[in-house]
Amino acid sequence: MLFLFILIVAFILQLFLPWWIIVPVAFALSLWRSTAGKNAFKSGFWAIFLLWIGTALYYTIPNQNLLANRVAQLFMLPETSISWIVILLVTALIGGLVAGLAALAGYFCKAAFFTKSLNPEHKA
């Protein structure tokens, strides 16, 4: 459920706001809905990873991967038919890690400030 919340809210807000809006979205929604640190990170990571892959594919496929191939040349990747896929995956990986860590931070803030009793058997 947290995965879908992050995916939908980040998609809507990224239409109007800068890319880093994924950080407060993942943090706030994880603060509100997360149940464990591992689940918070995975939800944030995969929601933004898939969102950015989908968005990048939406923009790159109609123009025959022109911009992605030029960025691949900038990074001196070999000129192959799949170099644009590497750029897509690196982009999505960066977004996923940023959102995953923000979601994990949201869970840890929830555990630190909003949990009444700390259970020593409770695992993040």
Please say whether the dihedral angle defined by the alpha carbons of residues 42, 45, 48 and 51, taken in this order, is positive or negative: negative
Pick from 123, 98, 100: nearest CA to 36: 123
Q: What is the pLDDT of residue 78?
A: 84
pLDDT at 66: 85
Mean pLDDT of 87-95: 94
Q: Where residue 122 falls among pLDDT bands split at 50, 70, 90? A: low
Q: How many CB atoms lie within 10 A of CB 64?
A: 10
Average pLDDT, the chain: 89
Domain coordinates in residue numbering, the chain: 2-28+43-113
| Residue predicted with more confidence, 14 or 78 | 14
Contact 46, 93 (CB under 8 A): no
The answer to whether 23 and 61 have CB atoms below 8 angstroms apart is no
Rounded distance, CA 5 to CA 74, Å?
A: 35
pLDDT digits (tens, 9 = 90+) for 40-76: 999 999 999 999 999 999 999 898 888 888 888 898 8
Say yes or no to pLDDT of 24 above 60.
yes
- Give the pTM: 0.85
Long-range CB pairs of 84-87 (<8 Å, 24+ gap) are 84/60
- DSSP H/E element including 5: helix 2-14
